[in-house]
Chains A and B, each alone.
Chain A
Amino acid sequence: MADTISHDVLIIGSGLAGLRAAISAASTDKNVDIAVISKVQVMRSHSVSAEGGTAAVLYEEEGDNQESHIYDTVKGSDFLADQDVAELLVKNMPYEIYQLDHWGMPWSRRKDGRIAQRKFGGYSFPRATFAQDKVGFYEMQTLYDTCQKYDNIHFYNEWFCTSILQDGGRFQGITAIELKTGNFTIFRAPAGIICTGGAGRIFSFSTYAFSSTPDGLDMAFRAGLALKDMEFVQFHPTGVLPSGILITEGARGEGGYLVNNKGERFMQKYAPGKLELAPRDVVSRSMIKEIQEGRGFKHETGVDCLKLDLTHLGAERIKEVLAGIREIGIKFSGVDIIDEPIEVRPVCHYMMGGIHANIDGATELAGLWTAGEAACNSTHGANRLGANSTSECIVWGRITGELAAKHALAHKGQTSIQEQQVLQEEKRIYDGLFRGRGDVNPYEVRKQMTDTMDDKAYVFRNEQGLTEALKKIRELKASMWKHVDDKAKEYNTNFVNVMEIDSMLRTAEVVLVGALNRRESRGAHSRTDYPVRDDTHFLNHTLAYFAGDGGPKMAWHPVTFTRYAPVERKY
């Protein structure tokens, strides 16, 4: 059998959630031996791209309050958030912000030396805590650097995890491939946390890093765990053309305007109360409507878009708080936002769904937790508010880290690996993929799949489009693409890509089936054929279980209400 490495806690994924979990587990007890396993080098995780802010209530003396943050989150979610979970998020955040400050986070400051906050979409108070426009980057850096303090955290840079090992309903470890050598290895540990982030690369036009593929989600899915609410995909209003790189909501938080080809601030029509700072689903829908009604621009690539005008903010302010955005504009779009409005278009940005977890981040498998974007403990419901995701990663990173560490201490050294599972997994990836045969280019399959998703599962969806998309995905899945041309063992990214594509196809299918089943419009999921929210039938979470190649088995799961009854959502 393959080589084995043993630890107490395995953290899979090293984004904000993973690193926060590592610190939390390491400081819970110094005898807990932690492995952080990531398919990229640890500090290169997608979280570094987060730009605009992290939501927290810091200034109650200035008028903010936690109740309001909870309500904004729940209302933003179109009442699909579990309210106890939202509450937990809000209550924990102030501590996390200050803790990050103590660890060296370069939060932007007010003149009086205190931490600064800015406006963000959907909030009734400026509570996006920011560090210029590189929040996620700085948070990652702070956490990564703080990890250096602990001798009991071990980083496994560039190890691709492929499957979860379990026995008797308990987590026992995982299998992974070391990229550098190509060695297939077993990691065993009594506790694990999946922090593999979002899956936004199943769309072509996407703000995500190339590494944001659903292999972590798929791992859990194949292990029999449910994926929850996968049909809710957030489209961020301002993706730069042609690449899809994000212009942070902070740009609008700082006072940017969205304009159509008549020069109008069209958001006046759609959300007079909040204008550009309405939640993302609202703004994105408004933009697409403007485009459909002929008031859009054409980018030189032929794509429809609108413009984001920041010129009135002035060079000084822009350089001070939106420097990164300016750099992105100049470099990737050829536009200096100081002089000129920039072309933008709604872009795939966040997956509200993820691995089904309870309020503690525990999955259905004992000993396994999940945190961050990969998890769905239903903080965000049908639509996440900007700046609430980094918050979620940090809060549940800490919670799950601590719980997993305690569990690991209680079950130290008690793992049993089922050889059969390992052999099966080896067979799946080596016989099924690595040594597979075929004449279809896997990258072409990926392109067609992501283009299909862009086309049919975008801001507005309908029965016909979704059905066509599902058909197309299933066709692609069945075509002869499963093969790896690169035969080397060492650093075989071709192999990695093929494993990713395999998981992408399965996940895309779950998204589409979920979207087809949800015959209503709620939050980010907007059906032109069912344009209204239907609380009688669909005030429920969607669960999808793996059921072989034929597609997922679906189920419903109740929403937790503790405070607010659903009302119509208006801004």
Chain B
Amino acid sequence: MTEQVIEKIESMEKKREKEKHGKETIRSSVVLKIYRANKRAGEQPHYDSVEVPVQRWTTVLDALLHAKQYKDPSIGIRYSCRMASCGSCGMKINGIPRLACYTKVSELEGSTVTVEPLANFPHIRDLVTDFAQFFSHHHDVKPFVQNENADIKDKNKLSEFMQSPEDLDKFLQFSYCIKCGLCYSACPTVATDTKFPGPQALSQAYRYFIDNRDNATKDRINIVDDKHGIWRCHFAGSCSSVCPKGVDPALGIQLLRGHMLGFSKNEKKIADLQDRLRKDEEAKQ
């Protein structure tokens, strides 16, 4: 075992050494071209260029924070987890919505990186945008399990809803969503339609629709079946192409619409609380 591990480590190290001098562009510094504006305080939009040092693993967020800490503390930016799980740091990087903490400078071309606030969100300051509308769209699709047993009533009878790994796979991917809003920023319908729930909210509607613990099937369909609802998605796919978490909102939306068009049937049964108890009984006999 010991030798194997060492061998593996050595061979990978060689490979990495090669890669290092191969495809990745290694630079020692990069120029950030940062969108700046604070309209409420009368500061008009302009771009500031700041040069910062970078290394192989430096992300755009690292670079921006370096700029903030050592060059210009007034850069307005939202961030938190720095590991692509909180959804704070969405911004346009070289014109495309991305997470700053998930985009390495070495993955980008050119010696300048342009960072701008997400489009389709009202602007607050510099790279920071207002998510209130986005969140309220999410709220409006009733993103929670609806089912008369959703709150456990009898604490002495504890049991889960049965859910096979296959049942889980039907919605799991849509629950990867970190609400970063990149999809919302990329969608062409959202670009003009303020009432369109957007890819995030619509794919969450499907996430709960197809969860076999939920039985608000009709209600969910009624919510999205609106002039500005699900039908305003034209499968432009941009949402899925920018989603950093593989949610594939376009897929969720089309699948939900498949049910509304009668192409698919929702065969799910409400995972019955009693199911397990019954099975247990059977097993005992």
Q: Which of A148, A211, A332, A491 is the one whose CB lies under 8 Å from B142?
A: A148
Q: Is the CB of B86 within 8 A of A40?
A: yes
Question: How far apart sit A99 and B144, CA to CA, in the bound complex (Å)?
Answer: 13
In this complex, the interface size class of chain A, counting residues with CB under 8 Å from chain B, is 35 or more
Question: How far apart sit A45 and B80, CA to CA, in the bound complex (Å)?
Answer: 8
Q: Is the CB of B80 within 8 A of A211?
A: yes
Q: Is the CB of B160 within 8 A of A262?
A: no
Q: Which of A94, A102, A339 is the one whose CB lies under 8 Å from B213?
A: A102
Most chain A Cβ neighbours within 10 Å, of B8, B68, B85:
B85
Q: Which of B57, B69, B74, B177 is the one whose CB lies under 8 Å from A486?
A: B74
A49 touching B69 in the complex, CB below 8 Å, given contacts A44-B81, A101-B160, A340-B12: no
Q: Is the CB of A41 within 8 A of B81?
A: no
Question: How far apart sit A111 and B2, CA to CA, in the bound complex (Å)?
Answer: 34
A263 touching B2 in the complex, CB below 8 Å, given contacts A103-B144, A148-B143: yes
Determine the chain B residues whose CB is within 8 A of the CB of A490 once the complex forms: 38, 40-41, 76, 124-125
Q: Is the CB of B82 within 8 A of A48?
A: no
A339 touching B143 in the complex, CB below 8 Å, given contacts A94-B158, A98-B159, A443-B69: no
Please provide the chain A residues from 256 to 272 with a CB less than 8 Å away from any CB of chain B in the complex: 257, 259, 262-265
Determine the chain B residues whose CB is within 8 A of the CB of A309 once the complex forms: 5, 8
Q: Which of B79, B126, B160, B177 is the one whose CB lies under 8 Å from A115?
A: B160
Q: Which of A106, A210, A259 is the one whose CB lies under 8 Å from B171?
A: A106
Q: Is the CB of B73 within 8 A of A443?
A: yes
- Does residue A6 face the partner (Cβ distance < 8 Å to B)? no
Q: Which of B73, B179, B214 is the one whose CB lies under 8 Å from A485?
A: B73
Q: Residues 203-247 of chain A: 1 if any B CB is under 8 Å from the residue's CB, otherwise 0?
A: 000000111000000000000000000000000000000110100
Interface-forming stretch among B44-52, B146-154, B228-236, B259-267? B146-154
Please provide the chain B residues from 169 to 209 with a CB less than 8 Å away from any CB of chain A in the complex: 171-172, 175-179, 208
Q: Is the CB of A488 within 8 A of B85?
A: no
Question: How far apart sit A484 and B78, CA to CA, in the bound complex (Å)?
Answer: 18
B contact residues vs A (CB 8 Å cutoff): 1-6, 8-9, 12, 16, 38, 40-41, 43, 56-57, 68-70, 73-88, 102, 104, 124-126, 128, 130-132, 135, 138-139, 142-145, 147, 149-152, 155, 158-165, 167-168, 171-172, 175-179, 208, 211, 213-214, 271, 276
A contact residues vs B (CB 8 Å cutoff): 27, 40-41, 43-46, 48-49, 94-95, 97-99, 101-104, 106-109, 111-115, 134, 137-138, 141, 145-146, 148-149, 157, 180, 209-211, 242-243, 245, 257, 259, 262-265, 307, 309, 311, 324, 327-328, 331-335, 339-341, 441, 443-444, 484-494, 497
